[in-house]
Structures are given as C-alpha cells and as structure tokens.
Amino acid sequence: MKKELWCCGWLLLAAVAAPGAGLRNPQVRSGLELAAQAGTVVVAPGECELGGRSVKVAAATTLPVAPGPIVSVTNDPPYRLSADKPQGFAKGTRLRGPNARDVNACGSLVPGSLELRAQDGALLKPGEDYLLDAAWGHLGIGPHSRVTTNDAVTATYRYALLRMDTVQVSAAGKVSLKAGVAHISSPVPPAADDGCLALAHVFVNYRDTAVHQDQLHVIAETPAQAVTASTPGRIPKTLALLKAGQPVTIVCWGDSVTAGGNASTPDKRYVEVFAAGLRERFPQAQLTVTNISAGGSRSANWLFPEKFPYRTLRGAASPCQFQRILDAKPDLVTIEFVNDAGLTPAQVEETYSDILKRLRPLGAEVVLITPHYTMLKMMGFANMTEQDRRPYVLALRQFANKHNVGLADASARWEHLWKEGLPYVTLLNNTINHPDDRGHRLFAEELWKCFQ
C-alpha cells in the first residue's frame, strides 16, 4: 500500500510493509493477529500464555484508537521574524509550541493553521509579509513585508503530538487498549496493567485520524534477543586494570551525542550511564571517565583542525583539539561519530588508522561505536524495519575486526527495536538525530558488552 510518512520531515511517500508482518508475540499460542481498520485495531480471537496458564480470547475485539492529539495556541507573543530564509531545522524563527528541545519537531505544525498578526492586529500574508517552512515550523521575513525584523508579531496556530498505545490481554481473556501519554517527539508506550500481557504497541503519528497496518508494532522479541557485533575480549589491558583495582582513565570522544544531546538530565547521558555501570561492575576500580566531545563535530575537525575548522573556529578557540585526548593519558578511548556516517569504506580505513597511530604511543586501547539510527530520510529508509546499510557502519565493523579493536555495535541494537514493538523514530528526541534517555542507554549497554 502507499502511505505518506512524516519522517522528518518524516514526509516520505513509499510502499511500506507492516512492521509486524510475520511476527508474533512469543506468549501467543494461536491467533490474536492485529489488523488496522479505519480508526480501530481489530484483534482476532486466539490463545496466549499468561502467568503460566493458558488464556483464551473467545471473540474478535475492536479497539477504537483516539486521533493524534492536537494543541491550539492563540496569540503566542512575541516573535520577531528572522532575516534568514527559513529552511530546514537550522534557520528561521522557531514557533515555540512544536519545539523538541534543541529544534522543532518536523511535521508537527498543522498545515494551514498558522496566522501571524502585526502589533496593530493586521493579518500578515504568507509569502509576502513572512516566509514559512511548514515542515519545521520556522519563520522568516517576507520579500514585501509590512513589518521589519525588529517588530513583534503574534502567532496563532495548531500543532500535533505523537502517542504510543498498548494492546493488552487480561487473565480473563479481555483485550483492551491502554493509551499512552502524548509527546512532541518521544512518546513512551505504557506498560501493560498488572496481570496483563502486552501484545503490541500502536504508533499514533502526527494528525492521525486513521490507523494503518504499519503503525501496529508487535512485541515479538526482548532486548536480550538483539544480536549485535559488540566485542568482548578486545580490551584486555583495561579489563586487567579494572579487576586489579588499579587507576583507569577512559576518554569518551565524540560529537553531540557523546556530549549528551538530548538526554533529559546529565546523569542520563550515555557517558554517565556507561561510567555508572562500570563502577557497579568493578567497585574496587579507581575509574576516571572523561567526556571530550563537541556538538556537530566529526573526526576530521579533531584530526585536521586547520583544514577542517570546527564552525570556523581555529587554533585555541576550537574545542576540537586532538591533543586534549592525548593530554588525558587514557588507558581506553571510546569513539562515537554519527557525523562520520558519510565516510566511504576507504575513508574509514584511512581516518581510523590515523587515529590508532596517534594513540599508539600512549598504549591506549580503543572501542569504536557504531552510530544510532537517525531520521528516516537521512537513513534512506522507506520504513522502520530496514537493516542498516550505511557504508560507514559496515566499514566500521570490518575495521574493528581487521585491527582487532573493540566495537560497541549500537547500530545493530537500534535495528532490533521494531521487533521489540518500538518504532525507532520515537527514540529520537529532536526527530532528527539526538536520542532520548532510552536511546542513550542503548549506547551504554553495548559498551558494557566489551567489558566481559
């Protein structure tokens, strides 16, 4: 079937397959298939195991799904129109309602709902008085505007939220739908009620009034069933120091994800979660974990700062100085650069060989981290069930094997999310490339596998 997906623009027209096709909850013995019909989910009769006993659902159950939530904002003051032409997530004046932490949630603004008014109440004309990037909810001054960039304007508009609902079966064989809490970008599905089995999650997208089959996400596997290429046994020196209670310094090097975007609090960033987990596993260790990162950077900014300056900054003004890593005298360096995802396999070999060469005099061990999934459009995906085919990711795995360095395979963990009943885009807090707390923890979990 054809479906319009807001991916990102979550806007992507493609033939999509139901993410749960061919999957079954492991506690289902027969039946209990889910089908989308208009604004409902129909659950077929069947049988499941719950609490060690068989539970039968005698008849098909039709579950109405509430439409995607809409929020109305009236006379939201004050805004001043940007001189920049609004384009994508980076330019223009952002409407406040659809804000997802550091950017606006793409696809959230309800098309045609925006009205801008000057201070005298005059209705401003789109395309003349102001420009609008409707996907991102960003504004800019128009080519023939009656206001200036210094004038305050008010905005009336509507924006949509996302929601995840849970289909559950009770011990009495009753099927029900438990609605989740709406969120601008990262809705969390509710846990099943006590004594109930969660069969699937329903992803309610921006402005949905009907449910489509690809929005039904069967809970078919557990996180423990995810198969990743993370490597135990490749950091023997660091492990020996940890077990002996000796001082250990780990540098976590990377971009905005390593810096912490978009964790809700500092302790939820993957570096902190990773460090806390290591301290639990090795309570006798004298562990120092240092975060050396810069949002928006890629490895080239650190390796060749004069050739590839970071945000036009050069010399001591730039935070991207590889010497910072050397000065920390690490026993181990973890490396995360989703911004390196455009590298070819040849560039991966050249770049990361250079990194190993620079670290060799320190005797520092290395763990490479494959990047998480980003918005569908950036991944080149038609749906959320596809395997990671980014050349950078495949090459990073090959490089780790060839050079016998550690690998924390976060990509494979994100690839598995749909089998856990989770559309991965709901873990992107800014709808683009920054994970929420759950996404950050996935990095830590894969890193911990290297310390076995």
Amino acid 310 reads Y
pLDDT greater at residue 101 or residue 167: 167
Long-range contacts of 381-388 (CB under 8 A, 24+ apart): 381/7, 382/12, 382/14, 382/15, 382/16, 383/5, 383/14, 383/16, 383/17, 383/19, 383/214, 384/19, 384/417, 384/418, 384/423, 384/424, 384/425, 385/17, 385/19, 385/418, 387/415, 388/412, 388/414, 388/415
C-alpha 63/C-alpha 187 separation (Å) is 20
Span(s) in the chain for CATH 3.40.50.1110: 224-449
Token pair for 101: 């932490």
Secondary structure of residue 94 in the 3-state scheme:
strand
pLDDT of 192 above 80: yes
What percent of the chain lies above the pLDDT cut of 70? 95
What pLDDT does 315 receive?
87
The rounded distance, in Å, linking the Cα atoms of 371 and 373 is 7
Which residue from 380, 444, 447, 449 is spatially nearest to 8, judged by alpha carbons?
380
Q: What is the model's pLDDT at position 63? A: 98
- Taking 70 as the threshold, does the pLDDT of residue 224 lie above it? yes
- Run of H or E including 80: strand 70-80
Q: Is the pLDDT of residue 238 over 80?
A: yes
Q: DSSP per residue over 7-40, as a string?
A: TTTT-EEEE---TTTT---TTEEEE--EEEETTE
Strands 365-369 and 406-408: parallel
Q: What is the mean pLDDT of the chain?
A: 94
Distance CA 266, CA 260 (A): 7
- Spell out the residues 6+ positions from residue 66 whose beta carbon is closer than 8 angstroms to its own: 163, 179, 204
Query: Which pLDDT score, from 0 to 100, does residue 20 have?
Result: 54
Q: How far does the chain reach from its first CA to its final CA, in angstroms? A: 45
DSSP tally for the chain: helices H, then strands E: 10, 25
Cα–Cα separations (whole angstroms), residue 421 to 11, 25, 207: 22, 10, 21
What is the structure's pLDDT at 19?
54
Q: What is the band of 45 on the pLDDT scale with cuts at 50, 70, 90?
A: very high
Quick check: 15 pLDDT over 50?
Answer: no
Is 13's pLDDT higher than 80?
Answer: no
pLDDT for 211 equals 92
Confidence label for 11 from pLDDT (cuts 50, 70 and 90) = very low
Q: What is the pLDDT of residues 107-155, one digit of tens each?
A: 999 999 999 999 999 999 999 999 999 999 999 999 999 999 999 999 9
In this prediction the pTM is 0.93
Cβ-based neighbours of 236, under 8 Å, separated by 6 or more: none
Tokens of 257: 């994800």
CB 380 within 8 A of CB 420: no
Burial of 64 (0-12, 13-18, 19+ CB in 10 A): exposed
With a cut of 50, say whether residue 261 has pLDDT above it: yes
pLDDT band at 229 (very low <50, low <70, confident <90, very high): very high
Superfamily name with CATH number, domain 224-449: SGNH hydrolase (3.40.50.1110)
DSSP letter, residue 310 = B
Token pair, residue 233, equals 């046994």
8 pLDDT more than 80: no
Which residue would you say has higher pLDDT here, 226 or 3? 226
- Give CA–CA dist 155/133, Å, rounded: 15
pLDDT at 21: 61
Mean pLDDT, residues 200-218 taken together: 94
Write down the pLDDT at residue 4: 37
d(Cα 318, Cα 310) in Å, to the nearest integer? 6
Report the share of the chain in percent with pLDDT over 90: 91
**Ramachandran class of 132: left when φ > 0, alpha when ψ lies in -120 to 50, beta otherwise:** beta
pLDDT at 102 (0 to 100): 81
Distance between CA 18 and CA 12 in Å, rounded? Answer: 16
* 432-442 as b/e: b if 16+ CB within 10 A: bbbbbbebbbb
Asked whether residue 282 carries a pLDDT value surpassing 70, the answer given is yes
Q: Calculate mean pLDDT across residues 221-237.
A: 97
DSSP letter at 205 equals: -
User: How sure is the predictor about 314, in pLDDT bands with cuts at 50, 70 and 90?
Assistant: confident
Looking at residue 53, its pLDDT comes to 95
